[in-house]
Structures are given as C-alpha cells and as structure tokens.
Structure 1
Amino acid sequence: MNKALFGNLPLPASSRAEDLETVSRQKLAPLFPPEQFELRSETERDKGIDLIVEVKELNRYTNFRFAIQLKATAKIKLNVDGSLSFPLDVSNIGYLSNYVMPAYYVVYDSRNDIFYVEESSLVRNLLYEKYKLGKYPNQFKVRFCKVLTSEVIQGMYNNTLQQGSFFKTVNNHLDLLRHTDSISGIFIDSNRDVHSIEENIRFITDHGLHLLNQANFEGIIQIEQRSHPRENVPAMFELVCGLAYYHKGKIHKSLDLLLAASKRCSEFDLQLQTGLAYSILQAKYEVGILSKEAFKEASEEIMNKKDIGSYLQLEKAYAWIKECKGDENENFMVFCDRVNCIVESERQNPKARILGYARVLEVGAEFLLNDLSKNLNTWTGEGRRRFLPKVLDEWKLIQDNYFERLDSLMKYVFKHNDIHSMGNLSRLKIEWVYRCFYTKLFFENWSFKSLSAKWEISVDRRADILKACSFLDKTASFHESIGDYESVVLNMVLKYELLHVIKENEKCEQIAADINSLIEKNDFFQLQLKFSKILDQGTRHEKFLKHAQMLLVHLYEIAKNEGFVSALFEPYTEDMLKFDADITDNSVKWTFSKFMVFEFTD
C-alpha cells in the first residue's frame, strides 16, 4: 500500500469476513424477482436481522414482510449428504423467534457458491427438542439441508402472503371486539382460518334449515363448535344445531340444544314448533328417558295438531299404516294416496319426495315379503309342491317391479347428493334380499317327514349373501365419511344377520364386538337395545324359522287328526288335482302386484 498517496494517514482495514458478507448480499439480491420482492437492509442497531423483505402482489406493495439473517462461510466443508452444518448464536435464535412474521436463516457457502435456507421457527424447534430442560449453550449447530432455489423462494413468498393475510384477519376481528360489551371472540381452526363467532351464529340462523335439507350436518356442527364463547343466541341457531347433532348420533348434545331452543319456541311458526316438540321426544326416546309407550302417546298428541310440516305428516301416515287393521290392499292404497298428496303439496321439496317414496317402499316390502311367506306356506307339502312354480313366477314379476321403483328413487337421491338417504335405500334393498333368502330357503327345504327344514345353502346362494355383505361395507364407508355412525351401525347389524344366516360364526363374533364398541363410543341407546335383543332372542331368520316350523307342525297335527295327512306326503289323485287346480288362482294372493307411480319433478 502506498501510504504517501493517502498522506501517510492510517485507514480502516478490510476483513475477509466483511468481504464475504458483501459478496453474499450481492449474490443474494438477484435471486429475488423485483416484481415480487423489495429487499431492504436492516442497518439501524442491527441485533440479528440483516434484511427485511416486503412481498408485492400484482406489482403493489402489501406491507407483508419476512426477515433474513444472512450468514456466510468459506471454510466449513459440506457433510457427506451435501448439507452444511453452521453454528448459530442461541440468543439470535430467540431474537428471530420473536418476529411475528416469517423469518429465515440464509447461509452462503462461498466455496461452492450455494445458498442454504431454513425457517427460524424450525431452528427454534430443533433447539427445544435437543435441550428439553431449557439449559441452552451459547451456540447451536444447525444442519442446513435446503438449497435456496427459485421454488423455495416462491414458497417463502406464499408463506408470507398467507401469514400476513392471517394476522390481518385476526387484527380486524380483534378491533371489532374491542368496541363491543358482549361476550364474544374469534375461532382459529387447524387450517388457520379465522372465524367470527357472530358471523357463524348469523350464518346458521339464516341458512341452517337449508343446510339441514342438504344433509350438511357435519358442516353445521363444525360451525357450532367454532362459536364459543357465546351468550344469548337465536332459538333458530340452537334448533338447527340440535337437529344436526341428532342426525350425527350425538343425542345428548342434541337434546341440550333442542331444549334450549324450546324455551323461546315463540320465535318459530307453528310448523317449526311442532317439529321441535317432536324432535325433543325422539331425542328423549333415543337416550332412554321416554319409554316406547310414552313416546307413542306423546307423538300422537303432536301429530293430531293441524299445523305440522311434511315430515310429520309422513310420519303420521306411516304410524297409521303400521297400526291399521282390515283389508291390507285397501289400506296400502290409502297410504299411498296420503303420501302422494303430501309429496305433491311440496313439489319443489326433493327431501319430502325422497322420504315419502322411501316410506312407500318400506311399507310395501313388509306387505309383500309377508305375502311370500303366506303363499309358500299355503302350497307346502308333497301333493301341492307342483304349484310352487306359480308362486315363484309371480314373485319374480313383483320383485322386478319393486326393484324398478327402488332403483328409480336411488337415481333421484344420487342426483341430489343425499348420501344419508342413499344409504337407507341401499340397506332397504339388502333387507329384501335377506328376508327373501331365508323365506324361500326354508319352504324349499321343508319336509313333513322330519318336520324340519334342512339348512343347505348352495355355493351360488352363499356368494349372493357375501356380495350383499360387501355392498353394505361400501355404503357404510360412505356413511363413515360424513360422520353418520348411526347408519354405520345399522349396516353392521344387518351384515351380522347376513353372516349368521350362512353360519359364518367366527365373522359374526368379530362384527358383534365391533358393533358393541361403536355403540358404546357413540352412546346409541336404542341401537344398543336393538342389537342386545338380537343377541339374546335371536336374529330375524331364527325367529322366522321357529315360527314357520311351529305353524307347519301344527298343520301336520291337524291333518293327522282329521285323516288327510297323506296329502302332505303323497302325490295328488286326479280328484285332488282337479280340486286344487280350481282354487289355485284364488289361493295365491298378494296385497298388491304393482307399485304406485313415482314421479320426479326434476
């Protein structure tokens, strides 16, 4: 150095570290596109932040920023895996952790001309993980593995935008809360979405009935859970949330909300008041507060009121047909007419149409399957066995007609994305398969010689039952996906009966344990009673076989006492054939052979 050139005055010395820092800054800045970033040096009393970087959105400044602590090295060798271990002051780690926006450590390796980066929050977590007792050293060596690429820089940009938007939303909500005297707050979910409790309550109050019609029970419950703390809320909010919890099987929670809503039921019109009263009865019955008799009596009182909605009108018609005596064909036609009138009175309400037609199918199946049993029973015996094909041929036509109606309704339900109703209809179809299976199998294998039926199941028939079980598993998975565990249990109970009818005993034991576990977890009181009854008193096919066998043994005793027992064992004579041929057409009877026409408005 020529000191004379500078008047022999001493000058500050340059250091390798400063030169390295300058190089690292000059090389770092061009990596950040100027249309997205504005880099500013932190020079005033720098305590551990070298750069503040503001992000831009559409070439406009956002005031959303992140911090960079820049380090550089020319001596440290890379690890075998290509990472770089670099010591950081623990005090600096704590300093960057206090920065509410994102902060990053960037280390420049001059030997290889590579920048490494790591978010300060991750570095802090690594420090906490290693020194769990809180006794920290002065320095903490960090293994930097992430290279600062354009993709990583874009991630820093996105992270800063998200963080900035998040804190802006939080601050806006908090500013509003500072100007109100009521108890309120905000809720931040796992996705870091910020929700105002007032907005949540207002949304459910205004749109809750629509959400219920769309079977969006899970969505309602999520919003309700984000609406604490709260003081006084509209009765509609409590009604909607109570019904949503009911449909999800959370009966105790449902009852609390419904009872709270009932204290201000004057806020509702008469139809909603009666609907609320009925829902409370249902919930009390489900948890065992009301007996079956008390529930029935109270329900009849509600349904006898004038102003009831379509749902209760359908329930009233359903209760009537179940208790109705007399001509079954005439009663069923009256029931169908009532359902049709209710459905047509709300032509733009697909939910009412789905519920109404589903009830018609449910009631129709009960009548027809009972008819099948009666008709097969009529033509049991060696002499009359020749007439069984007539019964089975007519049954095939009836079954085809039934499934045609069922499939048309399932298509309509699928169009409206009603998973809950789709599951119910699917289960109704498997119920038909199950009851038809054991009814036909019993009468086809009945013998008056042994006064019993051999339970011989062909390979094809067994395969049909296992296919039905697989179908139930698939529909149960749909129910589980929307949190409808009550329907999951109902599917499992039906699957238990299907496995039991083909004597898959080990599988029955396993599914019984799974059913009891799920019932206990969700506190399904009525389902617990139903399944316990199956375990204690037998499945439906066991009860059917016992009853049918008793009737046929009784028939044998009568034939034996009256002197025509031979007709049960021997082919008919010509006179007997002529007599039975005359009465065959009148003896095969069905409550109905064709279903009401299902009309779909859209």
Structure 2
Amino acid sequence: MNDNNNIDDMILPLANSNEDLETISNNFFKPLFDVKKFEIRSEVKRDKGIDFHIELKIENNKKQNVYSNFRFAIQLKSTDSKKTNMDGSISIQLDTSNINYLLNNSMPAFYVLYSNKTNTFYFESVNDFARSLNNKNSDWNLQPSHILRFSRKLDKLGIEEMYKLTLKKGRFNRTVNEHIFEKTNLVNSQDKLIIDSDLNVTSDAEIRRLIENVGHVFINEGKWKDIVSIHKKATGNVATTARYNLVLGIASYYCGNMIEALGFLKSATKLKTELSEDLINHSLFFETLVKYSIGLLSDEEYDKRMRELENSDNLGLYIKLEKAKNDFLDSVSDNSSKEYNRYVEAVQNIMNDPKANENIILNARCELMYFEGNKNNIDYLQGIAMINAIEQEFGPNLILRQEAFTEFFQANEIWSKNVQSLKKEANETKNYFAYFTTIICEVRVTFEFESFTDLVFLEQELPGSPRLGEPDRKPTFDKMLEKITHACNYFNQIGHIENVVASLTTKYEIHHYLKDFETAKSILDEVENIIEAYDLNEQRTKVQILKKNGTNYEQFKALKDNIFNSINNNKTNFEDLRSKMILMDDEERKIKRILNANDLHIHLFPIGYFVFPESKKDFVYEILNINQEARKIFDSMFGIVIPIANICYNPITQEGPVNGNLAETGFESWQNIYRIRKAFFENKFYRNENIPG
C-alpha cells in the first residue's frame, strides 16, 4: 500500500458541473416561494420529468391556512451559457416525451429555467407551450424534441400567476368530481355537464333549477337577455319542464325572437299539467301575443282569446289596461272629453283593484301620464285656435289669452310633477323598465308640444306689443334626443325589441322635424333592419304607415292645411249661397203678395219669417225634415204663436232655436239652409219682412 496520504493525489470521483448547477438552481429555487402559501415537495424517486410538486395553502373562512391538495408540477432546467436569442430569450431543447408526460396530469405544470450567469429564473406554462406547438403544426407529437424559448421571468407576479392558475384548475377539478358523483342522482338522465373556456363548470340540471327558481324575478326586472344567455350555456336537453319553457318563451318574446318564443310556449302548453292555472293563462297569453305578432292570428281571433283571458287573476289586469287604451284610441266621438274621462276611469279602476301589483300600477300610471300630457297639448292647441277665430272677428283679446296660458301652464305643471314622481318611484324600486318607458312618453309629449305649436300660434299682435323673436329651442331638442337615446340603449341592453323600435321611431321623428334627413333616414333604416331580423309583423305595419302617411308632425300639418283650405273654399261657397239667397229676397220684393186668413207663419232660424198656405203644412214639414214627434208640437203652436224651426239642423227634432247659432256645424249647415230657402222660393212660400225680428 502506498503510504502517500496526500489527498490531493488521491483518485476520487470527479465533480459534475451539471450536478453542481442543478444543486445551485435547487437551492435558489425553493426560497422564491412563500412557505405560508406553498408546500414544496421534491420528486426524488424515479423522476420521470418532474422535479417538484408544489401544493397550495389557502386561507379558510376562519382566516387559517390549510392544505388544499391543489398542486402544480415543476420541471427545473438550468444553464451556464451566456448565449441568448436576438430578443433576449434563452432557448432550451425539450423531449416530446417529457412534454406529453407533463400534459398527462390534470394539474398545471411549468417549465422553469435557471440562468446561472445572470442568477435569473424564467418560466413557461406547459399548456401554453403545447398550444403554441399545435398552432404551428398539429403533428408536433411526431417530432422527438422541440425548442422552448424562455422569456418570462419568475418573479412575484409569475409566482402569483402559478398560484391563481392552480387554484382555478383545482376548483374546476373539484366541481367536475362533484358533478360526476351526483350524476346518478340527476332527475333527467340526459342532463350533461357544461365546461366553458374559462373552466367554469355547470350542468343542465343547475341551469334548469336556476331558470325555474328565479326566471320570473328576472322577467319582472327586465333581464330577458340574461335568461336567454343562461339558457344558451346549456345543451339541447335542458328544456324538459313546463316552467322552464314558459320562462324562456316569455324572455324570447320580449327579446323579439318570436319563432323561438313560439316553440318554447308550445312546449309549455304541452306540459301544462305541471303549471298552476295562473301560469297556464300566462302561457296562453304570450302564445297569443306571439302568434298575433307574426301574423298567425287575425284581429278577431286575437280579440276573442284576450276576452277569454280578461278575468284571470293578475294577468287580466294587464289585458284590461291594454283594452282600455285601444278602446280610447279607437273611439270616434264628438265628445273627446267624455271618451278621455271614460279611459281615465277605466285605468283608475285597474290601479285600485286589490289584485293590482306594483308593476301593473306603474304601467297604468305611465300610460295615463302619456294621454294626460297629450290631452293638455290638444286642449291648448284648440284654445289657441278658438282665440284666433274670435280675434279675427273682434280683434286681440288679452283676457282670453291670459286665461288660455294660465290654464295650460297649470295643467302642464301638474303633469310635470306627476312625471317626475313616476320616474323617482320607478328608480327607487329599481323598475328601470317603467323608468325608461316613462322617458319615452315624456319625450313624445314634449316633442308633440314643441312641434305642433310651430303650426298653431296666436296670429294677431297686441297693440303696442311687438311679436317676440323665435326662442332658441336647440337645448330643448338636444335634451329630448339625449333622453330618448338613453332609453333606446337601455331597451337594447335588456333586449326589449318593441321598445327599441318605439324609441328609435321617436328619434326618427325628432330628426326629421329638425330637417336632419340624413340621420333620420339612417335611423329608419336601422328600424327596418331590426323588424326584418326579428320578423315583427305588427311593427312592420306601423313603419309602413309611417312611411306612407308621414310623421305625426307632417300629418298634423296636412290636417291643418286641409282645414284652412276647406275654410277658404267654404268661405267662397258660402258667399255664393248668400248671394243667391239675396237675389231670391230681391225677386220676392217685386211680387205683390196678399195674405190669406188660412196662411201660416214660421220662423226659419236664422234667416227670418216665412209664410205658406195651411194646406201645404205637411209639404213644408217634408222640406224642413221635421220628425213626427216634433210635428205634433208645431201643429199645436200654429195659430197661437209663430213656431221656430232651427234649420241648421237636419233633421229637426224639436221646436225652438235649440242652441241658436251654436247649432251651425260649418258649410254643411249653410248648404241645408240654402236648400230650404230655395224650396220655399220655388214653391212661393215667401219671406214676410213685416214681422219684426
């Protein structure tokens, strides 16, 4: 044995620089991870490509750190090379077998590279690396190895990213396991699990329960798009119950998807034994609305079905409210005030009904508010027209003007307070549907007043008071457009297509009135595109009428022009009739008349006294068109007093002046007066001018 014990000369195992580097990298790697959040476990036995398993520690509800069993894998690489790529990244060659090995585990995995020269760690997600390989070449698995370019530094942000990704993936796996465990207990064996790109897990059963439990709440809150969106996350097996189909049918109707709505509602009807009577009526109601909207029901069939549902609880009040509005709009009467009062009474009865909930009351108040504002406008316009007519005859009248303005401003102040109160209540109760519906009505009433008063205004100037210049109304119209745009955006957001069309149509009318025809046309094009996209038959008809008859302003202007043209024409015709009657008077004065004892006198109001033979009495009744009851009265008066026949009326139903000149209804009345005067002249029933008028 050699006695030389000098250790420097001993033959010993050689040190391995790679092993040294591995030790260095291991020693520097572990301190990067906070022990409060991570538990690092080294893979020491039969390592097949994983160096560390790192478990997350999470904080529970008691603020205690607990082990989660949510883990991620680390394959640690190291390099002593100074060589980098042009972009500063460092390239490492990886075996395809190792990539596949890491991908085969359900937990996240990361490649980590330690650069000894810069004492820096880099990392890359195995999933992200595999995804980039697949994007470049779907056959990447056939290659023995691939180059990974490390560029992301493993700093605090990188470690936090690892933590969040592992926590998300861990919760995902736990949820999937729970669903698999519950799978055998599902009511519908066809229910499936749904996993989205963000690893959110749900099932048909969960979606069905959600829609059935809160669907009607969502509908009342106007969250129709949310309902449809939730439904679209499920598979085609989800719509298996009546309540689910009913909720989806209603939501689809409000979103304008009529064909889809009809399918859901028909399915709900088939399963109606699962529904209460009230929900069955809801299903029938919306199915009727859908069929009518797409033209599958006639007006008669629609009205018949609505009458059948009118007495149902809760739902019947909505039908009665709609019926009251339609009856009022369809009413044609000389007494519009009477029709309006009847409508107000009907709406108030609905609001006072014990079954009326907050929604129906708010809807009723909103509709009533619109018609109240509309009536204020019409009353004002009629008042101005009446003042113009009186002032044309008698000159400017300051008292009448003050009365008209005071009456309107008082009524409008009450209306404005009601509008603000309604909006405040809707906002406080978070009934944004009612709030923005009120906005639409408010804008329509305001626009109606601003545009119509362009056409009807006081025509005569007060002495000493020159007409004021035109006020700047641009801020008013800008505010209207701002409000209607907000309403349109809201209804578009929740998917209420009918109100989207209503708000866009109002915008169209405002821009058209302001002569911004280019913007108006683009809005109308948008409306027509929506109608075609959703196949809205009822709205299509309304737009066709709008294009054919013009805007409300244009229709009102045409009506005003026709009335004035008619007045001018009638004025010319009236002068013609008056001239002819004067000629008759002149001809009669040339004739020597002898009164007989049997002659009868009659006062033809408003043109004077006339005489005729008693034998011609029945003939005179025929000329005057006096009914049988009134003839008896005239018979009893002849020989005692001179009876009066108001010949503005046709027929004449009573003796006397009967409202006097107020009975005149325009040129038609004078045509009747001329007819009678001519018949009396031709039959020699002459005027008696000796009787004082």
Return the match for 2:369 from 356, 361, 386. Answer: 361
Contact 2:84–2:90 (CA under 8 A) maintained in structure 1: yes
Contact 1:462 1:502 in 2 (8 A): no
Give the secondary-structure state (helix, strand or coil) at the position aligned to 1:154. Answer: helix
Q: 1:508 to 1:339 in 2, by over 3 A?
A: closer
| CA-CA distance at 1:393 after TM superposition | 3.9
Deviation at 1:22, TM superposition (A): 1.2
Task: Tell me what 2:639 maps to.
Answer: none
Deviation, structure 1 residue 494: 1.1
**Residue identity matched to 1:23:** I
Is 1:260 matched with 2:267? yes
Cα pair distance change 1:511/1:342, threshold 3 Å: closer
Range that drifts further, 256-265 or 360-369: 360-369
Aligned residue number for residue 49 of structure 1: 50
Is the contact made by 1:434 and 1:498 (CA closer than 8 Å) also made in structure 2? yes
| Runs of at least 5 residues in structure 1 that lack an aligned partner in the other structure | 448-456, 566-602
Structure 2 residue aligned with 1:477, among 482, 486, 489? 489
Going from structure 1 to structure 2, the CA distance change for 1:202 and 1:274 (only over 3 Å counts) comes to same
How does the TM-score come out when normalised to structure 2? 0.73
Residue 16 of structure 1 deviates from its aligned partner by 1.1
Amino acid at match of 1:225: K
The more displaced of 154-163 and 471-480 is 471-480
Within the candidate set 457, 460, 473, 2:472 is matched to: 460
Distance 1:473 1:231 in 2: 37
Does the CA-based 8 Å contact 1:423-1:487 persist in structure 2?
no
1:90-129 pair list within 5 angstroms: 90-129=96-135
CA–CA separation in structure 2 for the residues paired with 1:404 and 1:62: 60
State the alpha-carbon separation in 1 of the partners of residues 239 and 569 from structure 2: 72
Give TM-score scaled by structure 1 length.
Answer: 0.83
Q: Residue 217 of structure 2 corresponds to which residue in structure 1? A: 210
Q: Structure 2 CA distance, aligned partners of 1:263 and 1:37? A: 56
How many residue pairs get aligned? The number is: 556
CA contact (8 A) 2:208 2:238 kept: no
Distance 1:354 1:266, change over 3 A: same
Task: Return the letter of the residue paired with 1:294.
Answer: E
Q: Distance in 2 between matches of 1:199 and 1:32?
A: 38
Q: Superposed, which structure 2 residues align to 1:200-599 within 5 Å?
A: 200-230=207-237, 233-303=240-310, 308-323=315-330, 327-345=335-353, 349-380=357-388, 383=392, 386=397, 387=400, 390-444=403-457, 460-563=472-575
Provide Cα deviations, 1:234-286, integer angstroms capped at 9, x if missing partner.
31221122111111222211111112112233443433333322211111111
Amino acid at match of 2:25: S
Q: RCO higher in 1 or 2 (8 Å CA, sep ≥ 6)?
A: 1
Q: 1:423 to 1:526 in 2, by over 3 A?
A: same
Identify the residue that residue 199 of structure 1 maps to in structure 2.
Answer: 206
> In the TM superposition, what are the counterparts of 1:18-29 in structure 2 within 5 Å?
18-29=19-30
SS in 1 for 2:472: helix
Q: Secondary structure at the match of 1:442?
A: coil
Higher alpha-carbon Rg: 2
Aligned mates of 1:347, 1:413 — CA distance in 2: 20
C-alpha spacing 1:310/1:11, structure 2 compared with 1 (3 Å): farther
Q: Which amino acid aligns with 1:430?
A: V
CA contact (8 A) 1:183 1:229 kept: no
Partner residue of 1:149?
155
CA contact (8 A) 1:270 1:308 kept: no
Distance between the aligned counterparts of 2:4 and 2:56, measured in 1? 47
Partners of 1:546 and 1:232 in 2: CA distance: 53
Of 161-170 and 197-206, more deviation after overlay is shown by 197-206
Measured after TM superposition, the shift of residue 379 of structure 1 is: 3.3
Provide the C-alpha distance between the structure 1 equivalents of 2:298 and 2:260, rounded to a whole number of angstroms. Answer: 20
Matched AA of 1:429? E
| Deviation digits for residues 54-85 of structure 1 (CA, Å, limit 9, x no counterpart) | 11113322111111111111113345655433
Which piece of structure 1 moves more, 342-351 or 139-148?
342-351
Structure 2 residue identity aligned to 1:362: Y
Displacement of 1:556 in angstroms is 2.3
Q: Is the 8 A contact 2:190 2:237 kept in 1?
A: yes
Q: Which residue of 2 aligns with 1:590?
A: none
Instruction: Indicate the larger mover: 153-162 or 329-338.
Output: 329-338
- C-alpha distance in structure 1 between counterparts of 2:28 and 2:227, whole Å: 53
Greater shift in the superposed pair: 532-541 or 100-109: 532-541
Residue range with higher mean Cα deviation, 153-162 or 365-374? 365-374
Mapped to 1, the partners of 2:120 and 2:313 lie a distance apart of 81
Q: Secondary structure at the match of 1:68?
A: strand
Task: Tell me which of 77, 88, 91 is aligned to 2:83.
Answer: 77
Q: One-letter code of the match for 2:439?
A: S
Deviations 1:388-441 (A, max 9, x none): 564344222222221211111011111122222222111111111221122110
Q: SS in structure 1 opposite 2:191?
A: coil
Q: Look up the SS of the partner of 2:456 in the other structure.
A: helix
Aligned-partner SS, 1:379: helix
Whole-Å separation in 2 of the counterparts to 1:114 and 1:13 = 27
Q: Distance in 2 between matches of 1:564 and 1:463?
A: 50
| Distance in structure 2 (CA, Å) of the matches to 1:40 and 1:379 | 96
Q: Distance in 2 between matches of 1:190 and 1:87?
A: 30
Query: CA contact under 8 A between 2:314 and 2:356: conserved in structure 1?
Result: no
Residue pair 2:204, 2:238 contacting (<8 A) in 1 also: no
Partner residue of 1:187 out of 177, 184, 194: 194
Q: 1:134, CA displacement in angstroms?
A: 4.5
Which residue does the alignment assign to 1:38?
Answer: 39
Larger mean CA deviation between 401-410 and 472-481 belongs to 472-481
Work out whether residues 499 and 507 of structure 1, in 8 Å CA contact, stay in contact via their aligned partners in 2.
yes
- Aligned equivalents of 2:194, 2:483: Cα separation in 1: 40
| Identical amino acids, percent of aligned pairs | 27
> Which residue identity lines up with residue 99 of structure 2 in the other structure?
I
Out of 377-386 and 546-555, give the one that drifted further.
377-386
Cα distance in 2 for residues equivalent to 1:143 and 1:208: 51
Closer, same or farther in 2 for the Cα pair 1:135/1:195, shift >3 Å?
A: closer
Change (3 A) 1:133 1:267: closer
Equivalent residues in 2 for 1:158-197, closer than 5 Å: 158-178=164-184, 182-197=189-204
Q: Is the partner of 2:111 in helix, strand or coil?
A: strand
Higher mean C-alpha deviation, range 50-59 or range 365-374: 365-374
Equivalent residue of 1:460, what SS? coil
SS at match of 1:18: helix
Confirm or deny: 8 A CA contact 2:278 2:312 kept in the other structure. Answer: no
Compute the displacement of 1:31 (Å): 1.1
Q: State the AA in 1 paired with 2:362.
A: I
From the superposition, tell whether residues 324 and 512 of structure 1 become closer, same or farther in structure 2 (CA, over 3 Å): closer
Change (3 A) 1:530 1:133: farther
Give the counterpart letter for 1:120 in structure 2.
V
How far did 1:319 drift?
3.8
SS at match of 1:561: helix
Aligned equivalents of 1:518, 1:14: Cα separation in 2? 78
Q: Is the 8 A contact 2:314 2:355 kept in 1?
A: no
In 1, Cα distance between the equivalents of 2:320 and 2:5?
A: 109
Q: Which amino acid aligns with 1:492?
A: L
Partner amino acid for 1:36? K
> Residues 401, 561 of structure 1: CA spacing in aligned structure 2 closer, same or farther, 3 A cutoff?
same
Q: Structure 1: how far apart are the matches of 2:56 and 2:572?
A: 98
Root-mean-square deviation (Å): 3.3
Name the stretch that deviates more: 120-129 or 318-327.
318-327
